[in-house]
Amino acid sequence: MSILFKKLFLNRTVSILILSLLFSCKFSKKPKGENTIPIPKKSNILWLVTEDMGQYLPSFGDNTVLTPNLSRLANEGIRYPNVFSPSGVCAPSRAAIATGMYPSSIGANHMRTTSYTEVTGLPKYEAVPPPEVKMFSELLRKQGYYCTNNAKNDYQFKAPVTGWDQNGKKAHWKNRAQGQPFFSIFNFNVTHESGLFEPYERAIAIPEDIEFRIPPYLPDTKTVRRDLWKMYNNIALMDQQIGKVLKELEDDGLLENTIVFFYSDHGGPLPRQKRLVYDSGLKVPMIIRFPNKIYAGTQDDQLISFVDFAPTVLALSGQVPPDYLQGQAFIGEKQIKRDYIHAASDRFDGFTDAIRAVRDSRFKYIRNYRTEQGYYLPVTYRERIPTMKELIKLRGEGSLNEVQSQWFREKKSKEELFDCLNDPHEINNLANQAEYQNKLIELRNEMDRWLTEINDQPNLPERDLINKLWENKVEKPKTTTPVVSITEGEITIECGTKGASIGYRIVNENASPSAPYKVYTVPFKIEKGNHLEIIAHRIGFEASNPIKYISKF
């Protein structure tokens, strides 16, 4: 380390103590009995979404690195420490967020359904939710919101043209009409698993000799320590990126009429974290800052699942969430607190497993459907992480201790039960201990209830799943071409595919070639000579052939 760099961090301990007082608030519990937060109607909503990150933040008890921007957000907002993804990997998790549906209920739980076909021998397919299911951003657009996504799109299905006003790296709330409320997502991938690969050539934001705790399931070696340092360095870089977006919001004078969410798409990036149903793979940090710092510096301990995000945002926008949603609003007048969260694990890239999990505020129950198969899956992408290479090497040498060897067991227990309060790393299986049988039965029954309710069939062969989604057709179903009719100058658009969303845009000499498609809801009129472009699309189906219409009225 250079002399200059050492001087910069010489008084780091003192700096942490001082900045902790400024940024890392002492959180108080949200007042009991107050489930309703007074939100101004049509508040803007901003999502700041990082990737592959557990609760490695000062606001959640880990003071390894300073995150001044996120600590400020927490100091001015509400901290949610019990938020869980339904999957330990991104695309199924994003499907749950976009639709408010459990991934394993709509065919979205196998990672990358449109790739790895050369390995699986299966056709490319997409998740197919029930026909009434829409991306919740489309429902916001119907309410007049300008919706942008910058820039992740892997929902396990292709977003219909009705999903976003703007979708891509240039998507921004700044492009909306003046005064229009917005819902905007910004994704930060600097914390992604791939950020641990070598060569590591990113800016250095923290000292190289920083101290941190190593999880008991990882060995304390030079290689593992370097990967943990990279992980924390990436978090510091992510905080800087978050700060830039927050500054833009503040500079635009929008901070005090915008609800700001921060969360991660699932748990951490390290081996035995990502892709697993342990808390290390599912549990995420979440902070919400409301206008005028409502409930600033408080903590809400309720259990929250990603399927709850859609109904919550819809409630915040003033809508009544649709009945089909499998989640529930965790903010608002009709808030109902959860007793359990649920998760599922199936195929990851070229390797398939079948695991389901249910957790209450303390205990987690895991059911393994492929007990003859080991816990560890040799996912090629993960094996690019130096720590994963180290684990494989040490396993071959017989140098891993009992805890570090658990992941490499060649067979799985049918049932597992963990006390997540006293055993946060989920090492000690309590399923066979007599004093925990009542809890085991309770969570076993809850899992059975949930699987029946969402029509999940664990361990269903993926080929059979595709047949089910496609209703035994040979090819992916396609949305039928929309039909235009005119009555007294009013244009009506219909589509024969049940549940299809219809998007249209007016094309004339003044229109931008990248103008967003509007969501068709009711008949409308256009000026004579204007052109219409129309596309219909049901989620999981191929989009319809586009049609063009020239107004003659």
Which structure tokens are listed for 465? 């799943």
Sign of CA dihedral 451, 453, 454, 456: positive
What whole-number distance in Å separates Cα of residue 180 and Cα of residue 157?
A: 28
The neighbour count for residue 268, using CB atoms within 10 Å, is: 25
Q: Which of 25, 90, 147, 495 is catalytic?
A: 90
What whole-number distance in Å separates Cα of residue 68 and Cα of residue 261?
A: 16
Look up 90 and say whether it is catalytic: yes
Sign of CA dihedral 489, 492, 493, 494: negative
In this structure, are strands 44-50 and 258-264 parallel, antiparallel, or unpaired?
Answer: parallel
What whole-number distance in Å separates Cα of residue 468 and Cα of residue 129?
A: 11
- How many residues belong to the chain? 553
Place of tokens 């035995």: 272
Closest CA relative to residue 133, chosen from 113, 156, 115: 156
Closest CA relative to residue 89, chosen from 32, 40, 156: 156
Between the alpha carbon of residue 382 and those of residues 68, 347, 392, the distances in Å are: 31, 14, 12
Between the alpha carbon of residue 267 and those of residues 41, 280, 281, 283, 379, the distances in Å are: 33, 5, 4, 5, 17
CA angle in degrees (0–180, nearest 5) for 152-148-328: 80
What whole-number distance in Å separates Cα of residue 385 and Cα of residue 244?
A: 29
The neighbour count for residue 259, using CB atoms within 10 Å, is: 23
Decide: 223 and 204 in contact? Cβ < 8 Å. Answer: no
Decide: 376 and 410 in contact? Cβ < 8 Å. Answer: no
Which structure tokens are listed for 366? 């895991």
The DSSP annotation for 222-282 comes to HHHHHHHHHHHHHHHHHHHHHHHHHHHHHHTT-GGGEEEEEEESSS-SSTTTTTSSSHHHH
What whole-number distance in Å separates Cα of residue 258 and Cα of residue 429?
A: 44
Closest CA relative to residue 474, chosen from 458, 459, 463: 463
Question: 321: exposed, middle or buried (C-beta count within 10 Å: 0-12, 13-18, 19+)?
Answer: buried
Question: 48: exposed, middle or buried (C-beta count within 10 Å: 0-12, 13-18, 19+)?
Answer: buried
Query: Residue 215: what residue type?
Result: P
What whole-number distance in Å separates Cα of residue 535 and Cα of residue 501?
A: 8
In this structure, are strands 258-264 and 341-345 parallel, antiparallel, or unpaired?
Answer: unpaired
Catalytic positions are: 90
